[in-house]
Amino acid sequence: MDENTVFEINDFTNVTDMESFGAAFESILQKHVSFGRRPFLPNDVKYKMVVTATNFVKVGTRTVQIELLQPVANSSSEHVFNHPDDENEGENKNPEIDESIVVPFTATKEMQFHEDVFLSHDDLTVKFGVRECILISSSDDSDNFTDESQYNIIVGEIKTVIHMTGCEIPVFCYIKEKTLDFIQGYASDGNECINFTSSVLRNINKRHCNLHDLLLIFKEHLGAGSSAFHDDVRICSRFTHIVKLRKSKYHRLYTTDSFTRLANGLVDTLPFDTIQIVATWKGFRENSLTENHNYSDFDVNYASYWSVKINPSKNIFGVFDEILGVYSDNKRKQIKTDITCGDILEKHYVQQTTTNAFQKLTVNSASDVRFGNSHQSDREGTTGPVAPAIIQAWVDFIFQGHFSNDHFSDELQLMNDSNVYSKDASHNDIKIDEDLENLFNCPNISSSNDFLAPYKCAKKDTTTWRLAVALANVRVYMRSEPHAEPQLWIEFLLQLRKKYENMEDVEIVPNGIDHTLCGFSQKMQMIQLCINARKKRHAILDCAHMDKNDEFFDASETFRKNEICESDVMGRREKSSMMLIGDPELPMYLPITQDPCPLTDEMIDQRNSHLFSLEEEARVNEQMELILSDMQSFKAANPSAVFADFLRWHSPKDYNEKTETISERMLIPNNVWLRSWDNTKPVPAVNQKRIFNYTKIAEETFEQFENATLETVRQWIKPTVFAATLERMAEIESAYETLEDKKAQKVKIAKTLANATQNIVMADYNTISNYCCQSEIIHNMKIYLIHLFEKARESMEPPLPSNEDIRKAVKSLVNKTVANIWENSGLTETDYIVKPQEPIGRALAVLCQVDKITEKQLLNSERKEYIFSWILKNSAATGHKLFYRMYADLRSDKHSLYFANNSDCNFFSSSFI
Amino acid sequence: MSDDSSSPLTTLKILITGESGVGKSSLMLRFVDDVFDPEQAATIGVDFRVTSMAIDGNRVKLAIWDTAGQERFRTLTPNYYRGAQGVICVYDVTSRSSFEKLNHWMMEVDTYCTSNNIIKMVVANKIDMMNRVVSREEGLKFAKRHRTLFIEASAKTKEGVQCAFEELIEKIIQTPDLWENDRPAFRLGDTPDENGGGMCGC
C-alpha cells in the first residue's frame, strides 16, 4: 500500500454531523462517567440531583447542552420527617423482588414502586423514578428540536454510544421548549432497556382527570402485558390544595401606646394570604381507594401526610423597610427631598399663607398656620397633613418623652375611622387588625436588649433619639401624606426656638459635648449648652429690673454691661493658699474664668483646618484667646500680681517654688507669654469679650436647621434611626422569643452598625437595612402564624397542640418560606411535613378551614399527581421481571403523562455500526 | 490622579500628648527639623508640623500635632484626637509626676480617639539627664499593661527619636483599617493584642 492510499483513507473519513456528535458525546462520557453498573442508592430520598458537569456540543449548526445530573446527599434531611414512622421503613424494600440473583440494572430498580418518591424535589425523580441521568437540551431556546425525527436522529446516535460504551445512565432529551416538559429518554444495560416517554396535553379531556380513568390509561399502555394482570397496580397520589385565608389587606391602627414607639409590623398587607397543603397518599393498591367523576375517597384529612407551605404576599416587606428604605432607594422618595422642609410645604399648600409663616420664626406654632382652601379656614388649627392635636402630641413627645393632650385620643380615633377603613371592612377584619396591632406592638416587653456596641448616634431617652423615632413614625403613620414629615420637622424647630428663647432645657448634656454621639446629636447638645450659657450669663448679670418676658433680650444685653453689680467687679472666685510675690501681704485670688467654647465635631474640623492653613505666628495668635482672657481675669482679681504669680496659678511647672525662679522657657526675651502679660489690662471675666459666643452659635445652628433640606434632616437622624430600629428589633424578638439564640449574628450586626455610624460606611448601613427588613418580615410571619394557630386552638377539641408544637410548626413553615425568598438566607428549603391527625395537623386544618373544602373542590384541586407502578413477573421472551411506571401530573391548564417502560427485547444493537 | 511614584501613600495624623514641660515640642522639632532648642517656648493650644517619611518603600505624609500640656488647655485636647491614627504619650524620666499622669493621658486617648485600633506609643523623654527618677523597667511595665509601644528617647541627644516615629508609622501602615479609605467591612475576631507589647530594638 503506497502513501497515497493512506491519504485517501483520511480523505474518506469526512465525518457527518451525527458522527462528530457521537464522538463528542462519547468523549464526554469517557471524561465524566464510569461505565457499567451504577451504584444503587438506598430508597430514603435523602438525595437531590445536582448538575455535576455541563458540556456544549455542536451538531451541524445547532449547539446542544449536555448535563450530567448526579445525586448528592442532602445534609439537612433530618427535617424531612417531623415524626419518623418506624413501622413504614420495612415497606421501602419491595419483598417481591429477588435481588440475590444478579446485581440489577439500577435504572430499572429505581423505577420500581417507591412510596416516598413524592418527598423528592427532583422533577425527573418524580416523573421517571431516576436519580441520575444525562440531560440533553438545546442550549438556545430559539433553536429547539422541533420534531421527533430530529430527536430520533440524536437519540439514535446516543443509543449507539450507550451500547458501545456500556453506559447505564439514562439519557433524556427535551423536545421543543424546556417549559413544555416534553421529554423522552432511553436507558439500557445491553440486555434490557427502558424507554421513557411523555405526552403533554393543553386541551384537557375531562374524562381523564381521576384515578379510575388514569388507571385505565395505564393498563392500556401496558399493552401485551395487560393479559397477565395477576398482580395489582400500586399507586401513590398527591393532591395540592391552595387555601385562601382572609384578604391580605391590613390596616394599621393608631393607638396611644404605639405612638411613642418606633413603628414596626405590617405596612398594608398581611405577610401571606394563602396556605398550600399538599396531601400525599403513600402507596396503596388499585381498588383500595376510589376516585371517579362523582366521588372521591381522597379526603384531605385522611392523607398519609401533608406537606405544608405558606405563600408570601406580593409585598411582604414590613415597616422597617419603610423606615430604612429612604436611605437606600431613591425610588421610594415620594417627594423632592433636596429642598428645605419649608419649601416642601410651601409648594404643596397655599403659598401666600405659608411664606410668612415659615420665614418668620417668632410664630408660635405651625399649627397656628392655616393651610389649604379658604373655606376650611374656619376650622381649628391646621388643615395640613397632620392634625394640630396629633402634631402637638408628637412635639411634646419629642421634647418631654410623654404628652398629655385631651384632644389627642379623639383625633387619633378620627384618623383611624376616616382614612383607614373602607365601608366593606367587616367587623371581624377590624377585630383581627386590632389583635395584630396589639401583637406587633409587644405591650409586654420582657427584656430590652441594650447593645453595648459603640454606635455614634444619639443616646436613648434624649430629645434627638425621640425626634428620630417621631420622624420615622410620621412617615409610617402618614404613609399617604409625604408632607407630614417636613411638617413635623418645622413644628419641632418652632418649639426648639421657643424653648431656646424661654431658656428651657431641650437636651441632656451631662458634661460638655459628647463627641461619641452623632453630629446632629452634638448640634442639639450645642443648643442646650447655649441655653446653659445664657442662663449662667443671666445669673452673673444679677440685675434687678430685667424684663423676663422680653423675647429680644439678647439684643439689649450689650447695653446692660454697665449695670454689673459692684460685688463682681474683681471677678474673684476664691482665695488661694498662696501669697502674691508682687505683694506678699496679699493672698492670691483665683479668678472667675471664661469657659472655652464648646465645639462639635463639625466645628472642630473647621477650626483645625483653619489653624492648619495659618503661619506659625498667626496660629499662636489665633489660640491666644483663652490665655489673654485668663490673664485679664487674673489681673482683675489680683491687681498687684506679677507674671510669676500668674505662672504659679496657670502653669505651676514653669515656676519653681523652692528656688523661686521662673523656668527658662518662660524667660525667653519677648516670648508670647511675657509679651501678652505686659500688654494685658485687668478685666474681670464678666466684662470680657465672650469666648463662647452662644448667641452667634445658637443662631448659626438654628439657621442650619431651618435651611436644611429634607434629605439633610434624614441624614442627620440616620445613625439614630438605624440604632433605634435595631433596638426595636431586639425588643420585639425578645418579647415573643421568635428568634432562636443568634447571639453571634447579633454581635456581628451590632459591630457593623458601630462601624457604619463611626465611619459613615454606606455598605454597612445597607447590611443593617437588609438585616432589619428581613428579620422583620420573618418576625411578622411568625407573629401572624402564631396568632392564627392560637386562634385555631381555641376552637379545637382536645388533644390540643402544645406551645412547643406551634413554635416548631411556625419555625419550619417560616424557614421554608424564607429559604424560598432569599437564596442567601443560609436556610435550606426543607418540607414541613405534618400528619393530618396529629394535634398540630388538626390545628392547621382548623386554621385553613379544611372542613370547608367541598367534594367538588376535592375532585378538582389545584394539582393532582398519581404514580402507577406494575410488575410483569415473567416476560414472554426471557422470563425476567419487567417494570412499568406512569406518572400523571394534572393541572388546570396542562395534563402530562410520563411513562417508563421496561423491555427485555433489546432490538437495538451496536452490531450494525 | 498622577502616577507619580513620589505621591504619598496616605496622610497620617499623629498626636503628641503628655504633661507640661516633658518635651513634646522638642521631640517633634527634633524629628521634623532635626534641631533642639533648650529654650523652646511653652506651646499654646496646638502646634503642627507636616513632614513625610519613607516606610517600606512607600512615602507617607505625616501631620504631627503637638498639643499644649498645661491644665488650662486640657479641655481643648479632646478636639485634637479626631481622625488621629497614632498617639505618642510623652513623660519625663526626671519627673515622677509626669509619669504618674500617664494613666490620665491613656484614658483620654481611649475616650476620645475615633479609630478603634489607634496605635499608641509611650515615649520616655530626657534620658540624657542625670537626675532620672523613673526607670526603664517601670516605663516598660506601664506600656505592656496598656498594650502600647514603648521607647526611651532624648530630644536633646537625638537618641531614639527617629526610631520612635518610624516604629509608630510602621505599625500604623501594618493596620490598613486605620488609613485605607475604602475600609473593608467590620472584621470579627480582630484582636487588640496586635497593637501591644512592641518595642524598638535600638
**Could you report the predicted ipTM of this complex, rounded to two decimals?**
0.83
Q: What is the pLDDT of residues A607-634, one digit of tens each?
A: 888 988 888 888 888 889 899 999 999 9
Q: Do A665 and B40 touch (CB under 8 A)?
A: yes
A491-500, A727-736, B193-202: least confident range: B193-202
Considering only the beta carbons, identify the residue of A672, A754, A759 that sits closest to B41.
A672
Q: What is the pLDDT of residues A810-829, one digit of tens each?
A: 888 888 888 777 766 666 66
Of the pLDDT bands very low, low, confident and very high (cuts 50, 70, 90), residue A507 is very high
The DSSP bridge partners found for residue A312 are: A272
| Position A724, amino acid | A
Q: How many CB pairs under 8 A join A and B?
A: 91
| A453 to chain B: closest CA residue | B116
To probe the interface with A, which of B19, B20, B79, B181 has the most A CB atoms within 10 Å?
B79
Q: Give the pLDDT of residue A117.
A: 81
Instruction: Please report the DSSP string for chain B in residue order.
Output: ----TTS-SEEEEEEEEESTTSSHHHHHHHHHH----TTPPPP-SEEEEEEEEEETTEEEEEEEEEE--SGGGTTTGGGGGTT-SEEEEEEETT-HHHHHTHHHHHHHHHHH-SSTT-EEEEEEE-TT-S---S-HHHHHHHHHHTT-EEEE--TTT-TTHHHHHHHHHHHHHT-HHHH-SSPPPPPTT--GGGGSS-B---
Examine the pLDDT at A2 and tell me if it is beyond 60: no
Considering only the beta carbons, identify the residue of B19, B41, B44 that sits closest to A623.
B44
Question: What is the rounded distance in angstroms from the CA atom of residue A230 to the CA atom of residue A499?
Answer: 96
Long-range CB contacts (within 8 A, 24+) of A764-772: A764/B185, A764/B186, A765/A327, A765/A328, A765/A718, A765/A722, A766/A328, A767/B185, A768/A324, A768/A722, A768/A725, A768/A726, A769/A324, A769/A325, A769/A327, A769/A328, A769/A722, A772/A320, A772/A324, A772/A722, A772/A725, A772/A726, A772/A729
Q: Give the pLDDT of residue A294.
A: 79
Share of chain A above pLDDT 90, in %: 15
Examine the pLDDT at A654 and tell me if it is beyond 70: yes
Measured in Å, how far apart are chain B's first and last C-alpha atoms?
Answer: 39
Instruction: Please report the DSSP string for A208-249 in residue order.
Output: GSSHHHHHHHHHHHHGGGGGG--SPPEEEEEEEEEEE-S-SB
Q: What is the pLDDT of residues A854-907, one digit of tens each?
A: 666 666 678 889 999 888 877 766 777 888 899 999 888 888 899 998 887 666
Mean pLDDT of A563-590: 78
A159-163, A440-444, B112-116: least confident range: A440-444
B75 touches chain A (CB under 8 A): yes
Q: Do B44 and A759 touch (CB under 8 A)?
A: no
> What's the residue count for chain A?
913
Examine the pLDDT at A65 and tell me if it is beyond 50: yes
Question: What is the rounded distance in angstroms from the CA atom of residue A827 to the CA atom of residue A830?
Answer: 9
Question: What is the rounded distance in angstroms from the CA atom of residue A47 to the CA atom of residue A426?
Answer: 48
A279-293, A532-546, B149-163: least confident range: A532-546
Contact B164, B88 (CB under 8 A): yes
| pTM (predicted TM-score) | 0.76
Q: Do A605 and B82 touch (CB under 8 A)?
A: yes
C-alpha cell at A184: 423522552
Instruction: Please report the DSSP string for A251-293 in residue order.
Output: -----HHHHTSPP-SBSSB-SEEEEEEEEEEEEEETTSS-B-S
From its phi and psi, is residue A223 left (phi > 0), alpha (psi between -120 and 50) or beta? left
The Cα angle at residue A491 between residues A487 and A493, in degrees rounded to 5: 115
Helix (H) / strand (E) element for A766: namely helix A762-794
Question: What is the rounded distance in angstroms from the CA atom of residue A384 to the CA atom of residue A895?
Answer: 59
Q: Do A627 and B21 touch (CB under 8 A)?
A: no
At residue A757, the 3 state secondary structure works out as helix
Considering only the beta carbons, identify the residue of B19, B42, B79 that sits closest to A604.
B79
Q: Do A651 and B82 touch (CB under 8 A)?
A: no
Q: What is the pLDDT of residues B144-156, one digit of tens each?
A: 999 999 999 999 9
Of the pLDDT bands very low, low, confident and very high (cuts 50, 70, 90), residue B26 is very high
Helices A762-794 and A839-847, packing angle to 10 deg? 100
Q: Which residue has the cell 422541533?
A: A146
At residue A702, the 3 state secondary structure works out as helix
On average, the pLDDT of chain B sits at: 82
C-alpha cell at A213: 380513568
Q: Which residue has the cell 451525527?
A: A18
Question: What is the rounded distance in angstroms from the CA atom of residue A397 to the CA atom of residue A470?
Answer: 8
Question: What is the rounded distance in angstroms from the CA atom of residue A477 to the CA atom of residue A415?
Answer: 10
Helices A341-348 and A484-501, packing angle to 10 deg? 130
Rounded to whole angstroms, what are the CA distances from A234 to A288, A814, A868, A871?
A: 10, 35, 6, 9
A50: Cα within 13 Å, side-chain hemisphere = 8
Q: What is the pLDDT of residues A458-483, one digit of tens each?
A: 988 899 999 999 999 988 888 878 88
The DSSP bridge partners found for residue A56 are: A65
Q: Which residues of A touch B73 (CB under 8 A)?
A: 626
Q: How far is A181 from chain B (nearest CA, A)?
A: 45
What letter does residue A416 receive in the DSSP assignment? I
Q: Give the pLDDT of residue A370.
A: 41
Q: Do B72 and A607 touch (CB under 8 A)?
A: no
Q: What is the pLDDT of residues A340-390, one digit of tens each?
A: 777 777 654 433 333 333 443 443 444 444 444 433 333 333 446 777 788
**Contacts of B55 by beta carbon, 8 Å cutoff, 6+ apart:** B166, B169, B170, B173
| Position B162, amino acid | Q
To probe the interface with A, which of B186, B187, B191 has the most A CB atoms within 10 Å?
B186
Considering only CB atoms, which residues of chain A are within 8 Å of chain B?
A: 512, 515, 595-596, 599, 601, 604-605, 607-608, 611-612, 616, 619-620, 622-624, 626-627, 630, 650-651, 653-654, 663-666, 668, 671-673, 747-748, 751-752, 754-755, 758-759, 761, 763-764, 767
Strand A193-201 versus strand A234-244 pairing type = unpaired
Examine the pLDDT at A446 and tell me if it is beyond 60: no
C-alpha cell at A62: 445547532
B188 touches chain A (CB under 8 A): yes
Sign of the alpha-carbon dihedral angle for A564, A566, A570, A575: negative
Contact B139, B95 (CB under 8 A): no
Q: Which residues of A touch B44 (CB under 8 A)?
A: 620, 623-624, 627, 672
Considering only the beta carbons, identify the residue of A619, A630, A654 that sits closest to B72.
A630
A203-217, A287-301, A771-785: least confident range: A203-217
Q: How far is A85 from chain B (nearest CA, A)?
A: 44
Mean pLDDT of A72-80: 54
Helices A625-637 and A643-650, packing angle to 10 deg? 120
| Nearest in space to A209 (alpha carbons), one of A870, A869, A885, A866 | A866
Q: Do A754 and B186 touch (CB under 8 A)?
A: yes
C-alpha cell at A383: 388643615
Question: What is the rounded distance in angstroms from the CA atom of residue A65 to the CA atom of residue A134?
Answer: 10
| A614 to chain B: closest CA residue | B48
Sign of the alpha-carbon dihedral angle for A34, A35, A36, A42: positive
Q: Which residues of B touch A691 (CB under 8 A)?
A: none
Strand A62-73 versus strand A133-138 pairing type = antiparallel
Q: Give the pLDDT of residue B65.
A: 93
Helix (H) / strand (E) element for A33: namely none
Q: How far is B20 from chain A (nearest CA, A)?
A: 7
Considering only the beta carbons, identify the residue of B41, B80, B186 that sits closest to A671.
B41
Contact A750, A451 (CB under 8 A): yes
Q: Give the pLDDT of residue A236.
A: 92
Examine the pLDDT at A910 and tell me if it is beyond 50: no
Burial class (CB in 10 A: 0-12, 13-18, 19+), A399: buried
Of the pLDDT bands very low, low, confident and very high (cuts 50, 70, 90), residue A804 is confident
Contact A271, A878 (CB under 8 A): no
Question: What is the rounded distance in angstroms from the CA atom of residue A750 to the CA atom of residue B97?
Answer: 40
Contact A650, B73 (CB under 8 A): no
Q: Do A763 and B38 touch (CB under 8 A)?
A: no
Mean pLDDT of B33-38: 88
Q: What is the pLDDT of residues B118-145, one digit of tens each?
A: 899 999 999 999 999 999 999 999 999 9
Examine the pLDDT at B194 and tell me if it is beyond 50: no
Examine the pLDDT at A418 and tell me if it is beyond 70: no
Question: What is the rounded distance in angstroms from the CA atom of residue B59 to the CA atom of residue B27?
Answer: 21
C-alpha cell at A324: 430604612
B39 touches chain A (CB under 8 A): yes
B130 touches chain A (CB under 8 A): no
Q: What is the pLDDT of residues A311-351, one digit of tens each?
A: 888 778 888 888 888 887 665 666 777 887 777 776 544 33
| Nearest in space to A351 (alpha carbons), one of A333, A339, A369 | A369
Q: Do B114 and A758 touch (CB under 8 A)?
A: yes
Q: What is the pLDDT of residues A247-263, one digit of tens each?
A: 657 777 777 777 778 88
Helix (H) / strand (E) element for A590: namely strand A587-591
Q: Which residues of A touch B183 (CB under 8 A)?
A: 755, 759, 761
Q: Which residues of A touch B38 (CB under 8 A)?
A: 664
Q: Give the pLDDT of residue B143.
A: 94
Of the pLDDT bands very low, low, confident and very high (cuts 50, 70, 90), residue A79 is very low
Question: What is the rounded distance in angstroms from the CA atom of residue A424 to the CA atom of residue B101?
Answer: 75
Q: What is the pLDDT of residues A656-712, one digit of tens each?
A: 888 889 988 888 888 889 999 999 999 998 888 989 999 999 999 999 999 999 999
A279-288, A401-410, B39-48: least confident range: A401-410
Examine the pLDDT at A646 and tell me if it is beyond 70: yes
On average, the pLDDT of chain A sits at: 78
Q: Do A601 and B82 touch (CB under 8 A)?
A: yes
| B111 to chain A: closest CA residue | A516
Neighbouring C-beta atoms of residue B143, cutoff 10 Å: 25
Whether cis (ω within 30° of 0) applies to the bond prior to A486 is: no
Share of chain A above pLDDT 70, in %: 77
Higher pLDDT, A439 or A508: A508
| Nearest in space to A652 (alpha carbons), one of B48, B98, B75, B90 | B98
Q: How far is B88 from chain A (nearest CA, A)?
A: 19
Examine the pLDDT at A911 and tell me if it is beyond 60: no
Mean pLDDT of A746-753: 85
C-alpha cell at A192: 434490557
Mean pLDDT of A278-287: 88
